[in-house]
Chains A and B, each alone.
Chain A
Amino acid sequence: MRSTSRHILGSVKEMIQACIQCGTCTGSCPNAFAMDHTPRHLWQMVLNDRTRDVLTSKTFILCSSCYYCTLRCPRGLPLTDVMGSLTRLARTENPTGFKKSHLFYGQFLQSIRRHGRVNESELMTLFFLEMKNPLLPLQYAGLGLKFLQKNKISLPFVEKEGSHGLEKIFEKVREMENQA
């Protein structure tokens, strides 16, 4: 039960220690249906020091920061912030099971950083390259074709890089993360 890596979750745990497992967050969460662990589960896992299970969970990746849970939590816990902290922690710790989410997330951000918006073809290409799994693109082929038909996928490398002024934001975030 007690894990040597409990300190990894320490700061997150402090944020949600007062959770009373009332279920308001899960009931509120618009994305809970897609999560492998509902928010309520995730908090209980954090409180029980199930570090590995927590960090390999997709829950916080799927959080769309709608802030419903934070708004409604009777304990006033900063749940959306906790989701963010867990995402950051998972990226730093990078446990094996988290690789897919982590790489996708990383490439997603990089794509935005380059173009000021996401470039779908570039994002997926780089993601597949990094995953080093030749069969992986096949899994996404169907979805990709659907998107193509609906003109939802922009052509690769047509937008100019660095013309959008997002760089300052990324710099600021890095600064804040370093401080934290």
Chain B
Amino acid sequence: MSDQKYNALVVGAGISGIRAALDLAQQDCRVALIDKSPAMGGLLNQLDFQFPSTHCGMCKMLPLVHRDRSSQFCLRKGLFHENIDLMLSTELSDLAGEPGNFAVKLHQRPTWVDPGRCVGCGLCESVCPETVPDCFNEGLSSHKAIYLPVPHAIPNAYVIDLAACSRCGACEEICPTDAVTLSQSNRKNFNILVVDDELSIRDSLKEWLEDEAFTVDMAASGAEALEKLKAQTYQLMLTDIKMPEMSGTALLQKAKQAYPDLCVVMMTAYATVETAVEAMKTGAEDYLIKPFDPDTLVPMVILIYQDIEAARDREITVDTVILATGTSFYDPADEKNIYGYGIYPNVLTGIEFERMISHSGPGGGGLNRLDNGRPVQKIAWIQCVGSRDIQHNADFCSSICCMAAIKEAVLAKTLSIEPVDTVVFYMDMRTWGKSFQQYYDAAEQEHGVRFERCRIHSLSQDNLTGDLVVRYVSGSGRTVKELFDMAVLSVGQRPGNKTEHLSRICELPLNAWGFFSTRPFSTIQTPQDGILAAGSATGLKDIAESVISASAAARSASQIITSQNRHIKPPVKEMPDDQTTKTDNAPFRDVSREPVVLFVGVCTCSGRLNQWVDPDALARYFSMDPDIIRVAFINQACTADGWQQMKKEISDCLANRVLIGACHPYVFLKKIRELAQTVRLDPSLMDVADIMAPVFRAVAEEKKDIQAICTGVFSALNSGAESMKRMEPINPQPIPIAQKTLVIGGGIAGMTAALAVADAGYGVDLIEKSDRLGGNLNWLHQTIEGVSLKDFLTDTVDAVEKHPLVNIFMSSRLISFEGSAGQFYSTIENEEKKAVDVTHGAVILATGGHEAKTAAFGYGTHEAIVTQKELEIRLAENQIDPAQAGTVVMIQCVDSRQGSRNYCSRVCCPTALKQARHLKQLNPEANIYILYRDMMTCGFSESFFTRARNEGVIFMTYDRENPPAVDTGAGQITVSLTEPVLKMPVEISADLVVLATGIVPDFSDDLASLLGIPKDSHGFFQEAESKWRPLDAIKEGIFACGIVHSPRSATEAADTGRAAAQRAISLISKPAYLPDKTMAIVRHSLCSLCERCIETCPYGARMFNLDHTLIQINELMCQGCGACAAVCPNDASVLPGHSGRRMLGTIDAVFEQLHN
């Protein structure tokens, strides 16, 4: 295989991998995106609904600028980007080298179906005799051995599950495009040597394997085997361990020394399994325990065959590697299986439930019991299955299951036709993210989901009715028995299946729970230079956090690529030469003044088309059209020869419009781009009409109505031709971009963002309102892990201050802000009222937040009632004598998660644990009480909760309605509450009361209106989309990071800084922006300035220019959706290339008839 160069390798094509790949690709880096499964999209492929929108929305990750370089359709279906090579069924098998020059080996498992030829007609599936459980539907349905990995991919090629395939050859025979190659002939060349001293074993092995068409030789001893190995090349050796003279182990060593590529499988009696396991350490591939039957042996040999012989290995070099390998799920059917998963039919995992309720799922979205098919009326969600469970090595919280369970319960309530009762059994409801708490409240109050705070110990089944019996302790302390139709297990997460394997290949350490370790103050930087991790590979993350970490990883990766000075050119002032201008150097011909010259190339698919459609009739019909210069029939356009012929025909007739009639438009996307370069014709003037779909559909449905097929093919071709004829050449003009970024706020997030942008070689103006950089880190001293924040802060401040590209405005504020993405004009004013004007292409908002003020719990009435921030400061300044603090009461959720501040500040629970443990260390005799509502120790911080408890910190819960009372009478502080478990009043005489008041954002109304962006309901930054575009403002060109976006720790804030920098750089990385082809324009002479288009535009891309009294379009923000064209009463707003004439003409063409 040829050696190929890429800038980055992204391992894992789930959402993190896609985000990182897209970010890098947008910056002109060449990316190899690989995934071990035969479909991209990862876990999210199986999830149809995400809260809060109950939609998917993955497509919102697609680029908004330079859209033409990428496909613009559902991301679950596929991704085509000119800078991304997507390789599926591919794994990383070896890595060597250093940042800037990693030699990477990729191992691609064959799917036995050529995706370039497979048209997804499904004929093979109909003839396949083998049936296996369907992975995509989590085994709730079944598929054939030849199957579609996901129902919706484009191109949707079939793959073969070789373990299930019986190699009957039926699919190979029936495939109309010869895409299936199941040929047995290659197996003849796969030589297997069987070494055993017993003749009967040798004989039966030979017989079994020869039945599978392998070539088999035998040897009776080690010495004979070595001789045979010398005489001929073998790919696989099966050897007995216990043999006279030379043992199998000795043979293994000798054979491996001489033939390192030889694959060896040990055969052993049960007693010597340990020897076999030892042998695997010295190079054996696997072992078999005697006695074994063909059902054990044959699949193993086939897998080895597949790996060795049939797999395609590629070697590529990359500058950097991003591991976005995600997580796997805990298997609830473990040795204890307390929930009877797999035994009781109505016990499902969360993913299985999602598949069940999906319209593409096995039940088509219906909620029926799996035992008797009756509608489900009552469902229980059981939280923390395999999470927060030390008995299952999970002293961590999986972070996403609480919200997933709430969403699933709401879905059940809203999607089910029958009324459904839903109960969520939980320990702590972890609503730690933006808007999570509101969603939880709505689920409980509006949808009527019931929440029971009790862990469910086990499930049993009523054998008569099949109902599931749940026995639990209710809030009142009573033991309750309740019956359910269905139970959904919120199974926890585990490291991705290949994490350990990858950690060995990349020499990466793993943390205590088997996830990739990262450096301090980063969730993406691994200890290995040049290797980054994104998404949940380093810890449990939801969609938004994964997307953020992926962008941050992309930033660090492109940092490495830039420092290697490859591919990415340093920014230059003049316009780049790849713009379409009317000079001879332009890549494409200017055809705007030429009459239409349309070439129609029809692929006959090896003559198959002729069975249904008369080519002469087609040619006759089209030759009557004066715009069509030539109709050419090409035998197989998908082959190199066919394509060459197509190119030649097009060049010969000097066509300025091209229509290709072929089978799979997406197969031709890349080819068309390449063709555009050869014939110097803009690719927007070329199109592919899918003429084979009617043929394949008819074949699959076995309705061979020749007339219908003929009409279908003709319609596709005729409408395609009509559409191309009326396609106007579009020649957008480049827009200059100010390659600078404005960062507002000099806290850790802002500084990290500024550094990230500056390190990429772009100028930064950093505004800090105070006279000191650092924000909240100026008073924070250490993290919950006990790492000092001081060095982190000093290093960052130093780097920012010394960076030549960072211009710092201290004690300054933004007083004026105008312009739009690419060209913003701001005025910054300092203390002395001196104003400076700056121009920049993007803005990063990082104004942060501060601890909320409170008047609750007697704050202000007694000096020993303090906030968490005050405690941190006093402890650091030694103002608190730990010996005097004999009893400390910490109250969580002060004014938070209720009333007007109905959100979780996320940092307070870990902070309380940090301080409690710190105080306990200073004074082990101290009594420390933490009064909390739900302990928000998501992810690995759960382990600190366990530690704090072990160290003797006492925890008591309270609920929103019954908060504790603090009394400061007679100078003595008394905290009283009703202990919810014992239902007894408790009074604590406290020496110190610490209130966790949460975080409020520093984001003034003035600044928001100056920037022209809205705030969310709690005053934080309002993102364009909470899951898929978490850091982008609705107004293009403005991004946010740090706690003005949402409360988070210093480490997480720094990562959002990197991610926001990446988003900004995507915008400003080129000095000029060439707008995408599909973009609205205004014909000002027709415009009546009614401003309807301004209200309609969903991207806010239009504004009323008061100076020139006209409607102006921001080319960067316009996505070409056409809403403005539809709403315009005067046809003043139009989408070039999508004129009414063209659209109506195309529709008319569909209904025209071909007369033979």
Contact = CB atoms under 8 A, between A and B. Distances in A.
B981 A44 contact: yes
B429 to A, nearest CB: 13
B24 to A, nearest CB: 41
Contacts of A59: none
A145 to B, nearest CB: 32
Interface stretch (A70-78, A118-126, A167-175): A70-78
A56 B929 CA distance: 25
Contact of B982 (A18, A24, A41): A41
A21 B949 contact: no
Interface string A12-36: 0100011111111111100011000
Interface in A58-101: 68, 71-76
Nearest to A43: B981
Contact of A26 (B479, B949, B954, B982): B479
Interface string A141-173: 000000000000000000000000000000000
Contact of A23 (B455, B949, B986): B455
A47 interface: yes
A74 B986 contact: no
A132 interface: no
A51 interface: no
B927 A38 contact: no
Contacts of B458: 28, 72
B479 A48 contact: no
A47 B454 CA distance: 19
Interface string B960-984: 0000000000000000000101100
Given A38-B477, A44-B982, A48-B986, A24 B391 contact: no
B454 A48 contact: no
B949 A74 contact: no
A24 B457 CA distance: 5
Interface centre among B950, B951, B981 (most CB of A within 10 A): B981
Contact of A20 (B336, B391, B472, B949): B949
B90 interface: no
Interface string B816-832: 00000000000000000
Contacts of A47: 954
A1 interface: yes
Contacts of B628: none
B168 interface: no
A23 B472 contact: yes
Interface of A: 1-2, 13, 17-28, 32-33, 38, 40-41, 44-45, 47-48, 68, 71-76
Nearest to A37: B982
Contacts, number: 84
Nearest to A70: B391
Contact of B473 (A2, A13, A38): A38
Contacts of A41: 477, 981-982
Contacts of B950: 17-18
B389 interface: yes
A76 B945 CA distance: 15
B209 interface: no
Nearest to A72: B457
Contacts of A73: 391
Contacts of A27: 454-457, 471-473, 479
B390 interface: yes
A178 B618 CA distance: 103
A74 B454 contact: no
Interface in B462-492: 471-473, 477, 479
Nearest to B456: A27
Given A18-B950, A40-B473, A41-B477, A48 B336 contact: no
B278 interface: no
A17 to B, nearest CB: 5
B1096 interface: no
Contacts of A75: 390-391, 946
Nearest to A47: B954
Nearest to A74: B389
Nearest to A73: B391
Interface string B977-995: 0010110001111000000
Given A18-B950, A24-B455, 13 more contacts: A17-B949, A17-B952, A20-B955, A21-B957, A23-B473, A24-B456, A27-B457, A32-B479, A48-B954, A72-B338, A72-B458, A74-B388, A74-B391
B31 interface: no
Contacts of B338: 72
B981 A21 contact: yes
B459 to A, nearest CB: 11
A76 B391 contact: yes
Contacts of A28: 457-458
A18 B457 contact: no
B427 interface: yes
A18 B946 contact: yes
B472 A22 contact: no
Contacts of B471: 27
29 contacts: A1-B987, A2-B927, A17-B949, A17-B950, A17-B952, A18-B946, A20-B388, A20-B945, A21-B955, A22-B455, A24-B456, A26-B473, A26-B479, A27-B455, A27-B456, A27-B473, A33-B479, A41-B477, A44-B979, A44-B981, A44-B982, A48-B979, A48-B982, A68-B457, A71-B336, A72-B338, A74-B389, A75-B390, A75-B391
A40 B980 CA distance: 11
A32 B481 CA distance: 13
- Which A-B residue pairs are the 5 nearest by beta carbons? A22-B455, A74-B389, A23-B454, A23-B473, A28-B457
B384 interface: yes
Nearest to A21: B981
Nearest to B957: A21
B479 A74 contact: no
B912 to A, nearest CB: 15
A68 B949 CA distance: 23
Contacts of B388: 20, 74
Nearest to A69: B457
Nearest to B384: A74
A126 B927 CA distance: 45
Contacts of B957: 21
Contacts of B336: 71
Given A1-B989, A20-B949, A74 B390 contact: yes
A20 B36 CA distance: 39
Contacts of A45: 982
A54 B5 CA distance: 71
A71 B336 CA distance: 9
Contacts of B954: 47-48
B567 to A, nearest CB: 50
A40 B473 CA distance: 9
Interface string B849-891: 0000000000000000000000000000000000000010000
Contacts of A72: 338, 457-458
A1 B988 contact: yes
Contacts of A74: 384, 388-391, 455
A156 B336 CA distance: 45
Interface string B423-449: 000010000000000000000000000
B986 A1 contact: yes
Interface in B365-412: 384, 388-391
A22 to B, nearest CB: 4
A6 B663 CA distance: 81
A177 B338 CA distance: 35
A98 to B, nearest CB: 19
Contacts of B473: 23, 26-27, 38, 40
A38 B982 CA distance: 10
A21 B338 CA distance: 19
Given A68-B457, A72-B457, A76-B390, A22 B427 contact: yes
